[in-house]
Structure formats: C-alpha cells, structure tokens
Amino acid sequence: MNFLSRPDQYKRALDISKRVVDIKRKLGLLDTLGTDIYRALYCEIPIVLHDLVFGGCLRSLASDEQLAQWLPNVVNYRWLGSYAQTELGHGSNVQGLETTIHYIVCTFIKETDEFEINSPTLTSSKYWVGALGKLCTHAIVFGQLMLADPKTGKVRSYGPHPVLVQVRSLEDHMPLKGIVVGDIGPKFGYNTIDNGFMQMDHIRVPRTNLLSRFFSVTRDGVYVPPPHPRLVYAGMVGVRVHLIEESFTALARATTIATRYSVIRRQFTDGPNGSLVERKVMDYGNQQNRIIPGIAASYAFLFMGRRLGIAFYSMMDVIKRNGDTSSMAELHALSSGLKSTVSYITARGIEDARYACGGHGYSEASGLPRLYSSYTHIITAEGENNILPQQTARILLKIYKDAVLNNTAVPAGPTTKYIVQELACPHTTLAQYMAEHGGNLVSIPNLVKLYRHRAFSQVANMARLLQEDPDVPMMERWRQLNVEAQRLSDAHCQLYILESFVTSLASAPADSLAALTRLCQVYALTHIDRSLADFLEDSYLDRSDIEVVRKGLRSLFAQLRPDLVGLVDSFNIADHTLASAIGRYDGQVYEAMLQYSLKQPFNSKPVVDGYEEFIRPLLKSSL
Amino acid sequence: MNFLSRPDQYKRALDISKRVVDIKRKLGLLDTLGTDIYRALYCEIPIVLHDLVFGGCLRSLASDEQLAQWLPNVVNYRWLGSYAQTELGHGSNVQGLETTIHYIVCTFIKETDEFEINSPTLTSSKYWVGALGKLCTHAIVFGQLMLADPKTGKVRSYGPHPVLVQVRSLEDHMPLKGIVVGDIGPKFGYNTIDNGFMQMDHIRVPRTNLLSRFFSVTRDGVYVPPPHPRLVYAGMVGVRVHLIEESFTALARATTIATRYSVIRRQFTDGPNGSLVERKVMDYGNQQNRIIPGIAASYAFLFMGRRLGIAFYSMMDVIKRNGDTSSMAELHALSSGLKSTVSYITARGIEDARYACGGHGYSEASGLPRLYSSYTHIITAEGENNILPQQTARILLKIYKDAVLNNTAVPAGPTTKYIVQELACPHTTLAQYMAEHGGNLVSIPNLVKLYRHRAFSQVANMARLLQEDPDVPMMERWRQLNVEAQRLSDAHCQLYILESFVTSLASAPADSLAALTRLCQVYALTHIDRSLADFLEDSYLDRSDIEVVRKGLRSLFAQLRPDLVGLVDSFNIADHTLASAIGRYDGQVYEAMLQYSLKQPFNSKPVVDGYEEFIRPLLKSSL
Ligand SMILES: Cc1cc2nc3c(=O)[nH]c(=O)nc-3n(C[C@H](O)[C@H](O)[C@H](O)COP(=O)(O)OP(=O)(O)OC[C@H]3O[C@@H](n4cnc5c(N)ncnc54)[C@H](O)[C@@H]3O)c2cc1C
Ligand SMILES: Cc1cc2nc3c(=O)[nH]c(=O)nc-3n(C[C@H](O)[C@H](O)[C@H](O)COP(=O)(O)OP(=O)(O)OC[C@H]3O[C@@H](n4cnc5c(N)ncnc54)[C@H](O)[C@@H]3O)c2cc1C
C-alpha cells in the first residue's frame, strides 16, 4: 500500500471493501455493522462510512416506515451512502442559523410535494464528505429547511435538516443530472477514503425523503418539531461513541508496535564497569514514559468506551420508545467532551509511540506514520475538538448554577451528581480526606476523590471567572475564556474515564488484576502530572505532592516493566493488521526492515530516473 | 507535487536541485551554503544534504590539505555527498564502544596504506542516510577505526571515525563494486529526499581519506587523538545549529497559514441578540491560544538561532586557530538541549496551526500536513530528542556539583554562570524579588528572573534526586530519572531562548517594539503555563500566580489580536513557498480549495477506476 499512487490505493480499498461485504454475506452478518471486521483491517475503507455513518444515521433518524423501505437496500449494499453535512465554507457552525446565506437550501415545493435542494454559492458546496467523492450512490444531505411560515406565508429557515438524496445512477454510477461531485484531493492521511465535494443545482426529492423519526413536514408544509432540538444531530452522537472505540484501536496498535520494538532495540551499555551487552531501550525511564501512559490510556479507553456505548444505546432505546429525552443533555455533555479529551490523548500517545521507535518510527515500514496521520483527523472531524468541550462546559455550568448559585434542587444525573455532592464535602485538602479514609496519594480511591474534587473545582472556578468583568458582554467573556472551558470539560471527562477504569477492575481476572491496577494508577497519575496546576490551584494537593506523583509514576513504571509485552500482546492484534516491520510478533525487526527497503519498486533500477536529465548535467557542468 | 508518485516526486526534487545549482552558479554563490535559496523552496531537495551536511562536515573535520583537494569538487557539485553515520541496528549510540560487534569496521591495512571498510552483519548496514539512496557519489562513512595497538600489536577499536568513501561511479552513476545501496522506502514525510541504506564488502580507501583536521592515523598506523574527544562529532553540532533555523522556517510558515486563514474563516454569530455576521475564528480565545504562542516561538527561535549561530562559528574559529576547546562543553550542552526543546515546541506549534484550520488543515491543499510530517523528523534525527538533553543535564550537573557541592571555583561560561549566581541570590520567592526590583509577574525582567531561578532550581533538584537511594547503582538511578534530566535541560535552554528574545528587543524598530515585547511575554508566559509545577514546586511562584499567568496571556492575546496578520506578513514568505490554498496572501481561500479539488487528476474521469471490478458487483450482488 505504501508504494501505490493515491488512485491505486483507493482501488485497493475498493477491492478490500468488496471482500469485506462478501465475508459479511457468507457469515450472515449483513445486518450488523461489522466493526470487528473493520478493526482487523490494516487501512480504512470507504464502505465503513456507509455502514457506520450513513447506516447509523438512518437507524437513528429515519422513521419506521422509512426504515422498512430503505434499510434492505442499505444492509444489502444495493445503495452505498454517505453523510453530507459539512460545506466548503461551514463546518462547525452546523446550526447555521438563518443569518447565513451560505448553507445549502432545501425548499419545500407544495405543488409537487417535493423538496428542492440547491447550493446557491461557492461556499455552500458540500465538502469533506466521506465516501461521497467516488463511491456513494446516496447521501444524507443536510440543508436549511425552508418552509412558508403558516401565519405570515413568508418562507423562512427551520435550520439544517437531513434529507435522503440519490447522487449517482444505480446503473452506470454516473452522477445524476444537476450534481457535480468528486474527490477533494490528497489529505494528511485517510487517503483510502474518498472525501468528496458536491454542488447541487435545483435537485428535487419527495417530501418523504426528509428523515422523519423525530421531526417532519406535513403535506401542507407545516413543520412538526422534534421532542428535543438536538435530535437532529443524534446521528453524530452515535458516531462519536464509535470514534472512542476507534481511539482505543489506534492507540493499542501504536503501543503494541512501540513496546515490541523497544524490547528488541538496544542502545548503550552501562559504561566501562557495566555489562558489555547494550540495554533494551525499554529500560530507560523516558522510554517508559513515552510508552506506558499510552498502554494505560488504551485500556482506559477500552473500558470507558464500553460503558459509554451501553449508555448511548439505552438512551436511544428510551427515546425511541417513549420520547423521554431527559438523559440527553448529560450524555451529550459527556460524549462531546470525551471525544475531545480522548482524541487529544490518543494522538499524543501515537506520536509518543512513534518517537519511541527512533528513526525507524519515521519510516512507513513501521506502520506508525500512517496510524498517526489517519487517526488525527478525529481531532477535527465530527465536532472540532476545541468547540465540543464548550458544549460540555455549558451544560456543567448550568447544573452548577442551578444547584449552587440558585440553590434550585436539580435532578443531577449519574455522571454529574458529583457537582452537588462535592459542594457538601467537608474536606478542603486531600490530606484531610486521607486522614479520615486512609491510603496514600496513589491509592485508587484517593485518586478518584482527587479527580472528583478537581472536576468540581474547575466548574466552580469557571463560574467565578465568568462573573468577573460584568461590563464585558457575556459572549465576549465566553470567547476569551474558552480555553478554561476546555479545562473544565477535560476535568469532567477524565473523572468519567477514571471511574470507568476503576469499575472494570472489579471484574478483572485475578492474574491480571495487579497489572491492570497499576495501569489504572499510571493513567490517573500521568494526567495529574500533565495538569498539576489544576490540583495545586486551590491547595487540594500540596506542592510537596508533585514529587510524590512523579515518584509514584517511576515506581509503577518499574513494577510494570516485566508485564509490558504481555499487556500489549493481550490486545491481540494480528501482524497483518499492524502491518509493521518493527512491531512483528516474532521480533525479526531488522530482517523485515531491510527486505522492505530492498524490495520497494523505487529500487528496481540501479540508477535513478532523472539521472540523465538532472544529475549527470550537474556532475559534469563545470568540467 | 501532492498528486505525484514517490519516484516522480523525487524526480521533481532532482529537477529543482539542478535549478538551484544553476541559480547559485549564475549568481556566483557556489561557495556559499545557499540556505536562503533552500528556504524559499516549497519542499526539501536532496542537494541540501550535500551542501549543509556533507559540505558542512568536511569544513569542520577535514584538514586544510584535504579541503584544498576536495572542496573544489564539493562546491562545484562534481561530487555529491552524504553523511553516513547511522546503521540499521544503531543510531543514538554512535560512540558505539568496542563492545558492539554491529558497527561497520574500518581497519587499517599497513601494507597498502589503506583502510578497509566492511559491514560484517545485517545490522551494520548503513541506514537512514540522506541523499545516499539515489543521489550521492561520495559519503562520509563513520566506521570503527581498527588499529593495531602499538604496544600489544592487538587490533582494537578507537571508536567510530569519519572516512571519505566514493559510492557511485562519476561516469555512469552505478554503485561501485562491493557496494549495495538504495533508497530505504517511503517515510512519514521528507519523501523528496532519498534516505538510503548501504552495505560495504571490504571496500578499500587510502589512509588519507580519514578526515583529519583534529585526529589522524600515521603512516605506521598510530592514532593521533583530537584535543577533545567530541570533535569527532563537531559536524553534527553545526547541523544542529542549522536545524534550529529550520525550526523557525517551518513554524513561521505554519503560523502564517493559520493566521491568514483565521481572519477569512468565519463561524458562529453572537447569537440572537448579537451581530448577524459570523465572527472571524481568530476572535476565539482558544483559536488565539492555538496560534499566538506559535508566532511568539517563531520570533523567539529566529532571534535565538542567530545568537547561537554566532557562538558556534566563533567557537569553531577559535578551535581551528589555536585548539582551544574550553567553550565546547558549554556550547555542546546548549546546542544539544536546544535542538530538543526547540523541535518539540515547533512540532506542537505546527500541529496547533494545522488544527486551527479545522477540516481544511487536514487537506494537503493547506500545505500544513506536509509541513508537519516533514518537519517532525527533526525530533528524531541528529541526536534523538530524549537522549540529547541527558548530555545537557550531565554538563550542568557537573558545574553545579563543582560550584556548589564541592565548592571548587569554576570558570562558569556566559550561559551557565547563573548557576553560581543564583545560589547567592537572597530571595526565595519572586514576590520578594519584585518587592525590591518592582514590576509585576508579566514584566520582562521578572520573567527572566523567574526563568533563571527555575533553571537553577531544576539543577539543584536533580542533584538532590540523584543522591537519594545510594544503594541503587548510579547508572540505574540515571535511567530512572531521565525524564527529570529532560526537565532540567529544558529549563536551561528556555532561559537561553528568553534571554535571546529579550536582548533582541533592544534593537527592535520603534514601531514594532510594543508588539514584539508582547510576543516575548507570550512566549515566556506560555511556557510557564505549560510547566507550572516547575515554578510552584519550591514556592518561588505562589498558587495564586496561576491565575495571574493565565489572565496575563488572555490580555496579551487581546492586545496582539490586531497585529497578528502584520506579524506573520513580516516573515515575508512567498505564496509559492507556502504552497497553501488557505494561506494565500490574497485571501481567496475557497476559490483555491475548490479549484484544487476539481483539477486533481483523480477526478479526470466521472466514474472511478475499480467501479466495474468492485463497486458494480457490490451494488448488483443481491439482485
Ligand atoms: C478526514 C475528515 C473526514 C470528514 N468526514 C465528514 C463527513 O463524512 N461528513 C461531513 O459532513 N463532514 C465531514 N468532515 C468535516 C468535519 O466534520 C469538519 O471539518 C469539522 O466539523 C470541523 O469543522 P470546520 O472544518 O468547519 O472547522 P472550523 O469550525 O472552521 O474550525 C477552524 C478553527 O476555528 C475554531 N472555532 C470555530 N468556531 C469556534 C468557536 N465557536 N469557538 C472557538 N473556536 C472556534 C476551531 O476550534 C478551529 O480551530 C470531515 C473532516 C475531515 C477532516
Ligand atoms: C528523516 C531522517 C533523516 C536522517 N538522516 C540521517 C543522515 O543523513 N545520516 C545519518 O547518519 N543518520 C541519519 N538519520 C538517522 C538519525 O540520526 C537516527 O535515527 C537518530 O539519531 C536516532 O537514532 P535511532 O534511530 O537509533 O534511535 P534509538 O536510539 O534506537 O531510539 C529509540 C528509542 O530509545 C530511546 N533511547 C535510546 N537510548 C537511550 C538512552 N540512553 N536513554 C534514554 N532513552 C534512550 C530513544 O529516546 C528512543 O525513544 C536520519 C533519520 C531520519 C528519521
């Protein structure tokens, strides 16, 4: 794959896509998402977007009738779909407001009972849409729903809404009339996916193509709103849950490669009086510091992802059953913030793993560059990482304000009730808490307490900061403080992650409990170390604890050292999935590297193309 | 370039290489390094390694006679060279010690007055060598110098030494007999450079090919050692100085793109009661936080790089003139640590800039992915970032130990004398210092004082940590503590960077002094914020200062907001150098993005290659 041109890489991805479907069909798995199969592949394939994003969004947003009609086409791949929300000029601001004239419009035409979809401007071209560029036959297109106001008769926007649109012919795959569509071009990574652009010139679709489980437009053109406005984007929440699983996958791969290589790679002896054999690089403290936090985070995200998945699917069940959206705000806060927290940590963890492999980590042969460049789109896509946490912060601040400032009793949910509880906590330092409850700074219950207190104090702090400068308009204060909003969202999400890890320890097999407990402590201490100021700011930790945290990490690293290979082997990632010359299970690193170099097509001739034209004239020019 | 296969990219780079030489020749610049020309190019070209690394190393290490003979071939490009140090199995441990059997060997053959160079094992294949894969005719090969011990007659290693070796024919560019050479394969970035591998089968070169300005082997095979053992690697220090300039270049490009795009890109209005026009994303606090520290660091590295360059070249002059190596340790400490500190900050700054451009930052059309993936090799190459700072730490600890613990008078150099001075400082908190000297936490002199104190306290702290656990062997303690060694090296280097920035303010033009002063404060405060614990640990700052630091940053960001475009425009980077659809000087971002997508070759056919083979069977399979 590393030696192919982009079009050939894409063709290979189509080949793999077809095989995956064949396998799913053979195994009778057509109506499942097939995430396990995708996870076993070396690269991303466009059909993933059909299954997870297009299919997932339909399942969330299409009505039962629509599903009865459409789903057979989806699960049998008679249609191939994409999710077309972003536009060239607009991504994050999906709500888009009526004020923007850029957003694609979707106008109801009463006479024919149709919507007319149109991109009036350059910037309203759809852009970045995965699997749109070359593959899909259908797309869920978000457009500003334009309806005549029942009272005034004036046409106005009801905000972006999802409509099913056919993009290409089912006969010859040509784009339908009025549609200009193509691939946007090479990207940092993710190049086996055809992110696409699309311009639509007055395309018509039946009114019933509006995805209408939660909202709809009547035959008369009257809008029937959803029980909760956010339900328009419910498809995205599901995808976010999936991205967290993806994060586990990517980080587990990267740490597997780095760990295996680090017990093969040797550099330096202990000097004249030490051993003559060089040390495995895994023995160095900074190497452990590059790798072990990544292993810990992989496990953390695995456990947390499961918990979040369960919470999400049961929430969707409840909403579909009885329209009860009471847990939406809490879960929205969580999934938004987590997507940001988790993807930043994962991206860093992959890069740390890559750096840990020295020069060879920079070669595509290691598999690590591609892991990073493909993964890192997750920081931007599906809600930009600096924007999502603001939503988390807003929801938490509201709970804090209701509970604490306004003293209104709030039915705080399971993941936010700590805000109310911590307020009642009598201890102002961890030392006081430990005096009562025992343990030391690295004991799990105290770590959880620390995280809980920090999350609480960050909300309180942000609430206070927002009160300052009452002369400055609130929106401006918010803009200035949105770095702080991220801090607060992170603190909230880290508590959820840590609690999920701790809960999972209860069901860990006896023989791995000790190692997993240490990893859990590493996770907690690493992220204390990375945000020490949060913990010191209100003296909940003492400055002398800084050294305790770092000593704790060093000693956990040393204790975990013998278990590291076992811990990554448990991820059970096949060699063909890793596709890494240096992460091989058998450790034949150097043979594999050299073979890779020798065999690449670029070396097929002894003298390079361009010699006659450019090198020879150079060497001879001054003779 | 983004649409080409790797071999075609490389060919393009050869084309550019030849043009650069033609231009240099025309302008009479053949005997200069031509760094300014390289800086104006969009991509890396292999000839850079000839000029900077091969040429630079010869100038440092070859004797006057050798230079008289060789240099004309080098500056006229009759030879093309590379620097071949790293091997498949060994990179960082260049000293390599006699204990390793892996390193390539270079044995003196008295009979013929030659060295015989041989790679006996798989892992002793040279690997990663830039411009070796396809371009070079010559290489400076590091091999273990094997000489018969004058006393015992037993052949032993004198450690790796550099020898000039011809690799390819000057007639037809074929590899010479006994040499297997090729490109190592695709990499994360830097793909227009042919990093290569090479195996050598008993190659002979004259004894006089040993680079012998500082060391040599006599006709009798007796080793004449250098005045300082590090001089063997003097070539690398020069390259490190160059890498710091490169860091400025890369970060300045990235922040130029992000800044320009952020004043074009708009997202969100202030809500129902606010303006109807969406805000420029540059107005958001977290956007400023992603970009302004990068602009500040660009300026910091520019100023610091100049100061370091002067120090390096005047040191080399002195050594060449009178063999006085007294300033080597200090400059070695500095350049090693700086390479690590600067490259980590630069890599982060480029990624922050890329993230700041949202989705479009992920497209190769933005120019940002390539900037990051090519730049980031600097974290690994020329001394791995986690290893170099250990050398810095060792040197500083020795000074501390001599001065403080052993109370021996040391002639501390200009960049390390603070260690002795701080010890005598009567103030134990910044508050005390300010009470005497005035100003507040964000005043420049107080920031410098803070940095100086922090650097001192990190050395002291590390010295203390190393004394603990006297039962554990020193080497093991060192391995466990090498994360702390990095912290100490960083603290030292950050002081140097900040002082360089402050010194340069004195000669800043009046109309830019205010903005540059603010940038200098941003630089200082950003890196306090990122390592707050260092400053809080010994109470030199108070926990209440955390908020002061962050408020200071917010207010500086707001003050700098109107100057940002001007500050990046001053970098004066041409559009063809940026090669970014979204960083264009004229701001025609969306037109350029869409044109790029429309015109890429992958879109030349309306139906994708692979449709008949893979997509059609899929769509039709269940009919
Ligand atoms: C690989 C990839 C795949 C994708 N796949 C799809 C797909 O299948 N379908 C689809 O519809 N879209 C897709 N997208 C688009 C993606 O969803 C958007 O790029 C993403 O939502 C970010 O939006 P943006 O690009 O408009 O960034 P912008 O919002 O323009 O961000 C630019 C900068 O402004 C900042 N900013 C913006 N608003 C604020 C604010 N209010 N407060 C603070 N800071 C702010 C951001 O933090 C960022 O730093 C994909 C993108 C990528 C990279
Ligand atoms: C793009 C690129 C261009 C290059 N160009 C050239 C060139 O032109 N010529 C040339 O000769 N070489 C070149 N190199 C090779 C480069 O110099 C080496 O890769 C680099 O020095 C790192 O060495 P390594 O790969 O052996 O890493 P390793 O030392 O094997 O590092 C692996 C890991 O072990 C850790 N580690 C190793 N030893 C210690 C220790 N003592 N303490 C703590 N941690 C330790 C490292 O921190 C790292 O995390 C290039 C490399 C790259 C990526």
Residue nearest to atom 28 of ligand 1 (CA): B358
Q: Residue B567: what pLDDT?
A: 98
- For A96, the token pair is 């888009």
State the pLDDT at residue B273: 55
Query: Any CB–CB contact under 8 A between A472 and chain B?
Result: no
B86 marked ligand binding residue? yes
- On the question of pLDDT at B247 being above 60, the answer is yes
Helix (H) or strand (E) holding B300: helix B285-322
**pLDDT at position B103, please?**
61
All residues of chain A having their beta carbon less than 8 Å from the beta carbon of residue B276 are 99
Identify the three-state secondary structure at position B582.
coil
User: Residue B34: what pLDDT?
Assistant: 81
Contact A376, A329 (CB under 8 A): no
Query: Over the stretch A495-510, which tens digit does the pLDDT of each residue have?
Result: 999 999 999 999 999 9
CB–CB of B278 and A172 under 8 A? Answer: no
pLDDT for the residue numbered A156: 85
Query: What is the pLDDT, as a whole number, of residue A99?
Result: 35
pTM, whole model, 2 decimals?
Answer: 0.96
The confidence score (pLDDT) of residue B101 equals: 41
> Percentage of residues in chain A with pLDDT exceeding 90?
76
CA dist A214 to A64, A158, A217, A219, A336, Å?
11, 14, 11, 16, 21
CB atoms within 10 A of CB A423: 12
Q: Is the pLDDT of residue B263 over 70?
A: yes
Nearest CA to ligand 1 atom 26: A91
C-beta contacts of B474-479 below 8 A and 24+ residues apart: B475/A270, B475/A271, B475/A274, B478/B390, B479/A279, B479/A283, B479/A284, B479/A285
Alpha helices in B405-539 (DSSP H): 418-423, 430-437, 444-467, 474-480, 482-505, 510-529, 532-536
Confidence of residue A101 (pLDDT cuts 50, 70, 90): very low
Q: How far does chain B reach from its first CA to its final CA, in angstroms? A: 43
Pairing of strands B179-183, B196-200: antiparallel
Ligand number, closest to the Cα atom of B198: 2
Q: What is the DSSP letter of B101?
A: S
CATH architecture for the domain at B1-225: Beta Barrel (2.40)
Task: Identify any residues that bridge with B155 across adjacent strands, giving them in sequence order.
Answer: B148
Instruction: Kindly give the distance from the C-alpha atom of residue A87 to the centroid of ligand 2, in angstroms, as a whole number.
Output: 43
Atom number of ligand 2 nearest to Cα A261: 32
Kindly list the residues from chain A whose CB atom is less than 8 angstroms away from the CB atom of residue B7: 601-602, 608-609
Is B41 or A236 the better-scoring residue by pLDDT? B41
The pLDDT score that the predictor gives to residue A100 is: 39
A178 — alpha (psi -120 to 50), left (phi > 0) or beta? left
Residues 159-198 of B with CB under 8 A from A: 170, 172-175, 182-190, 194, 197
Q: Which pLDDT tens digit goes with each residue over A125-179?
A: 999 999 999 999 999 999 989 998 888 889 888 888 999 999 999 999 999 999 9
First-to-last C-alpha distance (Å) of chain A? 43
CA A549 to centroid of ligand 2, rounded, Å: 30
Q: Which residue has the tokens 């995708």?
A: A38
The reply to whether B530 touches chain A by the CB within 8 Å rule is: no
Q: Which band of pLDDT confidence, cut at 50, 70 and 90, is reported for residue A569?
A: very high
pLDDT of residue A94: 58
**B619, A170 Cβ separation under 8 angstroms:** yes
Residue B540 phi, psi dihedral angles, 5° rounding: -65, -40
In this structure, of A296-305, B165-174, B223-232, the range with the lowest mean pLDDT score is B223-232
DSSP-based helix, strand, coil % in chain A, nearest 5: 55, 10, 35
Residues touching ligand 2 (Cβ under 6 Å) are A 265, 267-268, 281, 284, 286-287, 290, 355-356, 358-359, 362; B 53, 83-86, 91-92, 128-130, 190, 195, 377, 380-384, 386-387, 482
Would you kindly state where each structural domain of chain A is located, as residue ranges? 1-225, 229-428+438-589
Range scoring the smallest mean pLDDT among A97-111, B13-27, B286-300:
A97-111
Q: What is the pLDDT of residues B328-338, one digit of tens each?
A: 888 989 999 99
Confidence (pLDDT) at B100:
39
Average pLDDT over residues A38-63: 93
Partners of residue A123 in chain B, C-beta under 8 Å: 590
B246 an active-site residue? no
- Give pLDDT, residue B492: 98
What is the C-alpha to C-alpha distance for residues B617 and B623, in angstroms, rounded to an integer?
Answer: 10
A329 is written with which tokens? 């705000």
Confidence bin at A111 (pLDDT 50/70/90): very high
B606 touches A: beta carbon within 8 Å: yes
Q: Which residues of B touch A607 (CB under 8 A)?
A: 172-174
Alpha-carbon span A68 to B143, nearest angstrom: 72
Distance CA A159, CA A96 (A): 7
Mean per-residue pLDDT, B531-538? 96
Summarised one tens digit per residue, pLDDT across range A591-616 is 999 999 999 999 999 999 999 999 99
Counted residue by residue, chain B has a size of 623
Q: Which of B143, B28, B365, B542 is nearest to A185 (CA)?
A: B365
- Which residue among A11, A182, A594 places its CB closest to the CB of B609? A11
Q: Chain A: residue nearest B368 by CA? A: A188
In this prediction, residue A76 carries a pLDDT of 95
CA B215 from centre of chain: 28
Kindly report the three-state secondary structure assignment for every residue of A441-509: CCCHHHHHHHHHHHHHHHHHHHHHHHHCCCCCCHHHHHHHCHHHHHHHHHHHHHHHHHHHHHHHHCCCC
Q: Are A81 and A136 in contact (CB under 8 A)?
A: yes
* pLDDT at residue B208 greater than cutoff 80: yes
Distance of CA B213 to CAs A83, B159, B307, B348, Å? 66, 17, 26, 39
CA distance B121 to B101: 8
- Residue B224, phi then psi, degrees to nearest 5: -110, 110
Cβ neighbours of residue A324 closer than 8 Å, sequence gap 6 or more: A318
Give the residue, out of B280, B284, B291, with the most ligand 1 atoms within 8 A of its beta carbon, to mutate for a pocket test.
B284
Is ligand 1 within 6 A of the CB of residue A381?
yes
Provide the residue count of chain A: 623
Q: Name chain B contacts of A122, Cβ cutoff 8 Å.
A: 590-591, 594
Write out residues 335-364 of B within 8 Å (CB-CB) of A: 354-355, 358-359, 361-364
For a pocket test of ligand 2, which of B136, B343, B380, B390 has the largest count of ligand atoms closer than 8 A to its C-beta? B380
CA B124, CA B108: separation in Å to the nearest integer?
18
pLDDT exceeds cutoff 60 at B623:
no
Catalytic residue among B382, B468, B537, B547: B382
Q: Which atom of ligand 1 is nearest to the CA of B363?
A: 53
Angle at CA of residue B125, ends B387 and B69, nearest 5°? 90
Q: Does A428 touch chain B (CB under 8 A)?
A: no
Q: Is the CB of A394 under 6 A from ligand 1?
A: no
- Residue B366: closest C-alpha in chain A: A187
B611 in reach of chain A (CB within 8 A): yes
Task: For residues B479-490, give the mean pLDDT.
Answer: 96
Pick the CATH number of A229-428+438-589 from 1.10.10.10, 1.20.140.10, 3.40.50.1100, 3.30.365.10: 1.20.140.10
Would you say the CB of residue A382 lies under 6 angstroms from ligand 1? Answer: yes
Type of residue numbered B320: K
A107 annotated ligand-binding residue: no
CA angle B488–B494–B496, rounded 5-degree value: 110
| pLDDT tens-digit readout, B133-159 | 999 999 999 998 999 888 888 988 888
**CB contact, 8 Å: B475 with chain A?**
yes
- Of the given ranges (B25-34, B247-256, B333-342, B559-568), which has the lowest mean pLDDT? B25-34
Binary contact (A14, B287; C-beta < 8 A): no
Spell out which residues of chain A touch residue B482, defining contact as CB-CB under 8 Å.
284-286
Share of chain B above pLDDT 70, in %: 96
Burial class (CB in 10 A: 0-12, 13-18, 19+), B317: exposed
CB pairs < 8 Å spanning A and B: 368
Give the Å distance between the CA of A381 and the centre of ligand 1.
6
**What secondary structure, in 3-state letters, does A390-402 show?**
HHHHHHHHHHHHH
Going across the sheet that includes B196-200, the strands are B126-129, B196-200, B179-183
Query: Which one, of A412, A585, A581, A396, lies nearest residue A491 by Cα?
Result: A396
| Paired tokens of B20 | 């650069």
3-state secondary structure of B313: helix
Centre of ligand 1 to C-alpha A187, Å, is 15
> Residue B128 C-alpha to ligand 2 middle, in angstroms?
9
Nearest CA in chain B to A529: B533
DSSP code, position A53: I
* Residues of chain A contacting B362 with CB distance shorter than 8 Å: 187-188, 190, 376-377, 380
Confidence of residue A409 (pLDDT cuts 50, 70, 90): low
Instruction: Give the residue, out of B165, B384, B475, B482, with the most ligand 2 atoms within 8 A of its beta carbon, to mutate for a pocket test.
Output: B384
Give B509's contacts (C-beta < 8 A, 6+ positions apart).
Answer: none
- pLDDT, one tens digit per residue, over A323-368 is 888 888 889 899 999 999 999 999 999 999 999 999 999 999 999 9
Give B349-364 pLDDT, tens digit per residue: 999 999 999 999 999 9
Percent of chain A at pLDDT > 70 equals 96
Catalytic one among A351, A382, A422, A499?
A382
List CB contacts of B510: < 8 A, sequence separation 6 or more: none
Angle (nearest 5°) at CA B386 between B385 and B389: 85
B322: Cβ contacts below 8 Å, ≥ 6 apart? none
A151 min Cα distance to partner chain B (Å)? 21
Q: Pairing state of beta strands B223-224 and B216-217?
A: antiparallel
Q: Is any ligand 1 atom within 6 A of the Cβ of residue A400?
A: no
Q: Do B3 and A123 lie within an 8 Å CB cutoff?
A: no
A253-267, A299-313, A585-599, B231-245, range with the lowest pLDDT? B231-245
Q: How would you write A274-322 as a 3-class SS string? A: CCCCCCEHHHCHHHHHHHHHHHHHHHHHHHHHHHHHHHHHHHHHHHHHH
In the structure, what pLDDT confidence band is assigned to residue A410 with cuts at 50, 70 and 90?
A: low
Q: Return mean pLDDT, chain A.
A: 92
Q: Is A506 on the interface with B (CB under 8 A)?
A: no
Query: In which residue are the tokens 């071209």 written?
Result: A125
